Amino acid sequence: MAQFTDDIFFASTAELQRGIRDKRYTSVELTRAFCDRMERLGPRFGAMALSMRETAMRQAHDADGYFLRDRVRSPLQGIPFGVKDLVAAAGGPTTWGAKPYAGQMFEEDATVLKRLLKVGGVNIAKLSMVELAGGGGYRFAAASLQGPGLNPWDRTRWSGGSSSGSGAAVAAGLVPYALGSETSGSILTPAAFCGVTGLRPTYGLAPRTGCMALSWTLDKIGPLARSAEDCALVLQAIAGGDADDPGSAGKRFYYAPQFATPLSEVRVGYHPGDFTGGVAEETRAAFGQALDAVAKLGVRLVEVKIPDYPYGAMVSTIISAEMGSIFEELVESGKVDELADRRQIAGIKASQEVTAKDYLRAMRLRRLVQQDFAKLFYEQADLLLSPSRTTIANKISEPLDRPLPSGTPMIPAGNLAGLPALSLPCGFANGMPVGIALVGPAYSENKLLAFGNAFQKLTDWHRKRPPA
């Protein structure tokens, strides 16, 4: 019987698969160990919505069959993972983190899940989330069917929304990687708060068929994982055209680090104020160290100023208008009142009143945002650098609408423009992780990941583990 230590539970996908191929353990043994850990510790962090042990063991057995025949379909073959509970998975409820949907069942897996299973991945759990992916806004971290996501670094603090379970599960070594979703910050936030790596793909690159919709023109599915390389391997497996997703770009993603642009030729734009006055005082030293590490990579750091738009108001209007249509039946049935957060209930009800005039005005401005960012990337920088979040994770007892440092508008701006982003652990403040985010032009994931790989070879923040 194989012995599984924390070194295994915090290993990369490549390291885990190497153990299978070297016959130190089988995928079945590895999966059983991760399932045991998920079921034991998942509730401790509010991370597990549903154990998928029964189907996972069958998937692991199939993966071992391929290994016995020396057939390896993917670097992810035989490796356990989890998915945010807005990703449909046959064989159990998909609750969207919300009481009105607690018994909701789907007969078919979401397309992204199908693609991970097709390359031999093993889905061991549905992971908790903020109800309805935070649609309507929410005041407290407890806005979830499973309760608040608790941060493995300090369980009095939040793991971040709305992919709270995905961030906590990866940080706690419950899964090597997980799928999350982002409409405006829901991959980057838990990645930063939990000290893991998170990749938000270009809008339309990963299919959303079978995933809960919050905003048709903003929703994106992406990975949270141990490293930039693991994120790349997951994106390669899930990306690609999907005729059933009207927002699909019809493009594939091939991870090609061998063709990466030399970092000495990469212009990285940043605004110095984003790392000083724009962040919480306790995080400034960590962000300063992160900037020093970036400079050591040999990139060309250039000061830039992003286009000036009311990003927050724009993204709020677009989400509200599209969510209002998506959840119209929930409001009309009265079941919206079953949600856990009173502010969110009010926000979803108010979404029914957004006017076409306001929505169209926001969409017209959005097009200008896309044009101005395209011009910025063409003329001034290849990538943009900013803090992922300006503070450490908040206490779960604190209201989320408390005043915060103004920080960077790159989360709403990048989502409005449909741009990819990569959040990298970059240090600690008061014992809690902080992260930096890189944003690039559409379909520049390979360039982002090349930077991320180089940064993580130079630093070891992504290898730090929460207290036992």
> How far apart are the C-alpha atoms of 184 and 170, rounded to whole Å?
20
Cα–Cα nearest to 235, from 225, 224, 222, 226: 222
Tokens of 137: 């806004």
> How far apart are the C-alpha atoms of 202 and 377, rounded to whole Å?
15
Q: Judge whether 27 counts as a catalytic residue.
A: no
Q: 180: which strand partners?
A: 222
Per the CB < 8 A criterion, the answer to whether 311 and 416 are in contact is yes
> How far apart are the C-alpha atoms of 2 and 298, rounded to whole Å?
43
> How far apart are the C-alpha atoms of 155 and 159, rounded to whole Å?
9
Q: Judge whether 162 counts as a catalytic residue.
A: yes
> How far apart are the C-alpha atoms of 183 and 177, rounded to whole Å?
20
> How far apart are the C-alpha atoms of 205 and 217, rounded to whole Å?
13
Active-site option among 12, 27, 144, 162:
162
Tell me the residue type at 53. R
Provide the 8-state DSSP code for 270. Answer: E
> How far apart are the C-alpha atoms of 203 and 337, rounded to whole Å?
32
Q: 220: which strand partners?
A: 182
Active-site option among 84, 126, 220, 447:
84
Tally DSSP H helices, then E strands, for the chain: 15, 13
> How far apart are the C-alpha atoms of 158 and 339, rounded to whole Å?
19
Per the CB < 8 A criterion, the answer to whether 103 and 68 are in contact is no
Angle at 29 between CA 26 and CA 32, to 5 degrees: 145
> How far apart are the C-alpha atoms of 146 and 98, rounded to whole Å?
9
Q: Judge whether 447 counts as a catalytic residue.
A: no
Active-site option among 12, 181, 186, 444:
186
CA quadruple 265, 268, 272, 277: dihedral, nearest 10: -150
Provide the 8-state DSSP code for 122. Answer: E
Tokens of 113: 């899940």
- Collapsing DSSP to helix, strand or coil, 393 comes out as coil
- Would you please indicate which residues are annotated as catalytic (active-site) residues? 84, 162, 186
